[in-house]
Structure 1
Amino acid sequence: MLYQSMKIVLGPFLRLLWRPDARGVEHVPEDGPAILAGNHVSFSDSVFMPLVLPRRVRFIAKAEYFTEKGVKGWLKRNTLTGIGSIPVDRSGGDEATRALLAAQRVVENGELFGIYPEGTRSPDGRLYKGKTGVARLALTTGAPVVPVAMLNTGELQPIGRKFPRIGRVRLVFGEPLDFSRYSAHSYDRAFERAVTDEIMDAIRGLSGQEYVDSYAADVKSRSDDALG
């Protein structure tokens, strides 16, 4: 209910200011489960992707968003909870496993699930190596994977900017990728890696980004170490 209310109230305002140009929306199923796998260049990606779709999209969100203090933290926590976001501890381990299982329940319930295989926002606008959680989710549920490219949200809202600049948002949804026939290979690490790479290649084809065969989180960590 909160999700629909926010979309009804804020949707016209967001469309007026950022005039989203969405192509390939017809590739997103009108009903039934699907996994929307996109590049991640801006915090606002999770705002504009659902904005252009009639169906609700559920995402995972880093756990820190649910534990911030003060009024801002309370507002963010309740908003994310209200729209059905799933907290995930990006440090890995059991928390990440529980988040993946929660995502699996969303998909098996026939909903749309949005995921950024890079695991974090790109530090420089390039497309980084995808983590294999998206492949495991696709293989265990049999749901189609729709590649999504956010084309300029990183320019409108780069890292560190609280609100996106006014400008036209552009995004593209690609043709669904069907891995259901490979369900027997779930938990096969080599196969999951191959499926993930195929998904990332589809995203790269839509976005035109330069691809980097490294994890974005590792690149950020090395950059932080160098600055320190």
Structure 2
Amino acid sequence: MRRHPRRGEAGGEVSESSLDRTPSVEAPSARGAEVGRRIGVGLMYGLWKPRVLGAWKVPTTGPVIFAVNHSHIVDGPMVIGVAPRASHFLVKKEAFVGPFGPFMHATGQLKVDRSTADRTAITRALAVLANGGVLGIFPEGTRGEGDFASLRAGLAYFAVRGNAPIVPVAVLGSSDRRGRLLKALPPLRSRIDVVFGDPFEAGDGSGRRTRKALDEATERIQKHLSAHLDHARRLTGRR
């Protein structure tokens, strides 16, 4: 039976058969991720004024996926710093340059090549979930409007294959351009809202990972994420 290709988080084609041939790799450091979280706490609360809502909804144990909207470079570090659990984010390989590369590796973040089906990144991400950890994903694949309008199927695959609930996370205020001193960063000491939503299951309970099942899961995920973003905007008064 022919396998249908699947568009993955890395931006390349991913198929179930190709993933079965993924090489064995070491899981990222859970201790490193906790160190990264503690560093993030100091940086995020030192540079800005995060307002965190719904953090109590994050399951305290077991595998979890943070699905985060993405409109600014600071969104990932912000969630890492304010979340109640240490997390491992899938991050484009271009961010692992210069001194940032060793730091990102040391803090348990996952380098991913978006131009291909990065089987090593996929395997390491699944290892995070298999070890009961938290995997962070920007399901839109890259920075955009941060509205979850365009989702890739990689999120559904990880959720179903890793048997992990998805926690939607809305970061609001990071793309505000008013009062910036540094062009690349939100205004220093400005308020940034991070709203965690209710965890939900992506699959239909059958455990199926067929193309149709993943497409259906992606549709369910998009509805959940869009509804959470609307709720977060009403809750915070943000647009």
TM bucket (normalised to shorter chain) is 0.7 to 0.9
Q: Where in structure 2 are the equivalents of 1:1-228 lying within 5 Å? A: 1-9=31-39, 11-66=41-96, 68=97, 73=98, 75-93=99-117, 95=118, 97-122=119-144, 124-155=145-176, 161-166=183-188, 167-179=190-202, 182-186=205-209, 188-208=210-230
SS of alignment partner, residue 90 of structure 2 = strand
Cα–Cα, structure 1 residues 5 and 100, in superposed 2: closer, same or farther, change >3 Å? closer
Q: Could you tell me how far 1:83 is from its partner in structure 2?
A: 0.8
Quick check: 2:110–2:121 contact (8 Å CA) kept in 1?
A: yes
**Following the alignment from structure 1 to structure 2, what is the Cα–Cα distance between the partners of residues 128 and 90?**
19
**Following the alignment from structure 1 to structure 2, what is the Cα–Cα distance between the partners of residues 9 and 139?**
31
Q: Could you say which structure has the higher helix fraction? A: 1
Gaps of 5+ in 2: 1-30, 232-239
One-letter amino acid matched to 2:156: A
Identity of aligned residues (%): 30
Gaps of 5+ in 1: 210-228
Cα–Cα, structure 1 residues 110 and 125, in superposed 2: closer, same or farther, change >3 Å? closer
Quick check: 2:40–2:80 contact (8 Å CA) kept in 1?
A: no
Quick check: 2:41–2:82 contact (8 Å CA) kept in 1?
A: no
Quick check: 1:45–1:150 contact (8 Å CA) kept in 2?
A: yes
One-letter amino acid matched to 1:137: F
Q: Could you tell me how far 1:13 is from its partner in structure 2?
A: 4.6
Q: Could you tell me how far 1:7 is from its partner in structure 2?
A: 4.4
Cα–Cα, structure 1 residues 9 and 90, in superposed 2: closer, same or farther, change >3 Å? closer
Cα–Cα, structure 1 residues 37 and 13, in superposed 2: closer, same or farther, change >3 Å? closer
Q: Could you tell me how far 1:183 is from its partner in structure 2?
A: 4.7
Structure 1 segments (4+ residues) deviating >6 Å: none
TM-score (norm 1): 0.77
Quick check: 1:23–1:172 contact (8 Å CA) kept in 2?
A: yes
SS of alignment partner, residue 191 of structure 2 = coil
Q: Could you tell me how far 1:11 is from its partner in structure 2?
A: 2.3
